[in-house]
Amino acid sequence: MLDHSVHQGNPADGPLLVPAMVRIQTLLGQVVRAVTADRGYGEAKIDHELRDLGVGRVVIPRQGKPSQARREAEQPRMRLRSPCSIRRLAVPLAVA
């Protein structure tokens, strides 16, 4: 665990993430390369703020139904449907 904070009541998750990332980056002395979180943090504003901090990859599912553009961005580039698909992608090992 790199950071925690204590609050009265039950504040929304989203606004707490960026300040936590600032504290973590200060603690580590370097830019965090990737951030992942649950849907409670899934707002476009948070994605933009994290990218402004220098975070390279933000993986947070959005709240509500995703738009077509968001679904396409979240889809994997290639789907493996069968074990033979996996075998075709495997790199053969060189035998000496």
Q: Evaluate whether 59 touches 36 at the Cβ level (below 8 Å).
A: yes
User: How many Å apart are CA 24 and CA 51, to the nearest integer?
Assistant: 15
Element (H, E) at 17: helix 14-28
**Residue showing tokens 């504040």:** 11
* Any domain includes 1: no
Tokens of 56: 């390279």
* Any domain includes 42: yes
Helix (H, G, I), strand (E, B) or coil at 71: helix
**What pLDDT, on a 0 to 100 scale, did the predictor assign at position 19?**
94
Count of domains for the chain: 1
Per-10-residue mean pLDDT of the chain, 96 residues long, equals: 88 90 93 89 91 91 79 64 48 48
* Any domain includes 64: yes
Provide the domain limits for residue 71.
14-89
* Any domain includes 31: yes
* Any domain includes 81: yes
**Residue showing tokens 């703020």:** 49
